[in-house]
Amino acid sequence: MRCNLCSGAIVLISGKGSRYYGCVNARRKNCTNALLVPRARLERVIIAELKESILTPDNVAFVYKQVEQLAARGLNKVPEFLRKKRAERDRLLSQVQNYLNFVKAGNFSKAVSEALKEAEAKSEELGGEIEALEYQRTNRFKAPPREWVEHRLAELHGTLSRNTAASAGALKELLGTVRLEPVSDQESDLSWIVNGEKRFKPYYLAHLRTQTLALLTSRDKGSTSLQMWTRLQSSRTAGLITARIRILPVRQPPLYQRIAPKARQLQALGMTPPQIARALGIDPKTALKACTYSGQGHPSSPFQGEDRGEGDVDLPDSSGAMKGHI
């Protein structure tokens, strides 16, 4: 998972009684995204939305039909695609050989090593696409029967319901990188009624790009012909279902943690905690905690509230565009 503000990793942060996801760069004071969300809640909401709203038989069957139509339209372009892919791969293989010769001559560096790995990975990816295009010349993609889709989804839902390594692996194949966007705008349409008053509470908006063709890649499920089509970038793009899911409610760090940098700055200028409290309009005890906070404290309990997320899920229309929501 990645932070939508800084593209930094969303990592597990220890907490009391639970564990929380948060932006690693915010911990390093390099990002303003200080929102945290309980691990169990985030994972539960995403899996529930996948099973109930995104990976449904209707949605998956529709997307596969779109891939089939795309493949049929692209048959005449296969020879030209093959020519371009082969030329690109030859260029990359030449780059790889140049890097290897450079290393053999004793000129090794981290930059060269990373460039070599990137070129080798891209070359391998192109090799898979070339093989798939060659296969496409004589074999048309046919969407699997709805019965197969329903059976495959039933198996997947069973896997996701278990907290195992298999479940984690399935999620990684389906979702790729999930981006979490913090929503802390007071003008947002989302609010809570607390003690009779309408109050805003910040939350995360999870951006998902679900790759339905990942359902075809299991070694023991689906034919070789179906798996071959998952190697084509055009097919993978057509096989995506995009979604936006609200993960709520989310907690912010306690007040003393949020004002700690300012409090320490004032303390360095010679102000005492009581003076800082008066200057910032806060309680003296809060000012004292802010002055002594080192950035390593544990998060307090999250807001109490509804334990679910509300997902806005983009669905394909008849033209293949993704729109609407559930």
pLDDT tens track for 52-102 = 889 899 999 998 888 888 777 766 666 777 788 889 889 988 988 888 888
Q: Please indicate, yes or no, whether residues 155 and 276 belong to a single structural domain of this protein.
A: no
Instruction: Show pLDDT as tens, one digit a residue, over the chain (326 residues).
Output: 999 999 999 988 866 656 888 899 988 888 988 888 888 888 888 888 888 889 899 999 998 888 888 777 766 666 777 788 889 889 988 988 888 888 888 877 888 888 888 888 888 888 877 877 776 666 667 788 889 899 989 888 888 877 667 778 888 888 888 999 988 766 555 555 444 555 677 888 899 888 887 887 654 333 444 455 555 556 667 778 888 888 876 655 677 887 888 899 999 999 999 999 998 888 899 999 999 886 654 433 333 333 333 444 444 443 343 333 33
Number of folded domains in the chain? 2
Residue 240 lies in a domain: yes
Q: 């390099």: which residue's tokens? A: 30
Owning domain of residue 279: 255-292
Residue 71 lies in a domain: yes
Residue 308 lies in a domain: no
Cβ proximity of 78 and 137 under 8 Å: yes
Q: Which tokens sit at 67? A: 């891939």
Q: Please indicate, yes or no, whether residues 233 and 274 belong to a single structural domain of this protein.
A: no
Residue 80 lies in a domain: yes
Rounded Cα distance between 27 and 3, Å, is 12
Q: Please indicate, yes or no, whether residues 239 and 259 belong to a single structural domain of this protein.
A: no
Q: Please indicate, yes or no, whether residues 34 and 170 belong to a single structural domain of this protein.
A: yes
Q: Please indicate, yes or no, whether residues 159 and 34 belong to a single structural domain of this protein.
A: yes
Q: Which tokens sit at 152? A: 């495959």
**Total Cβ atoms within 10 A of residue 162:** 9
Residue 81 lies in a domain: yes
What's the order of all strands across the beta sheet hosting 37-38?
A: 10-14, 19-23, 37-38
Considering 198, 233, 253, which residue would you say is the last residue of a domain?
A: 253
* Among candidate residues 255, 287, 300, 308, the one with its CA nearest the CA of residue 47: 308
Residue 326 lies in a domain: no
Q: Please indicate, yes or no, whether residues 19 and 167 belong to a single structural domain of this protein.
A: yes
Q: Please indicate, yes or no, whether residues 271 and 186 belong to a single structural domain of this protein.
A: no
Q: Please indicate, yes or no, whether residues 100 and 202 belong to a single structural domain of this protein.
A: yes
Q: Please indicate, yes or no, whether residues 96 and 144 belong to a single structural domain of this protein.
A: yes
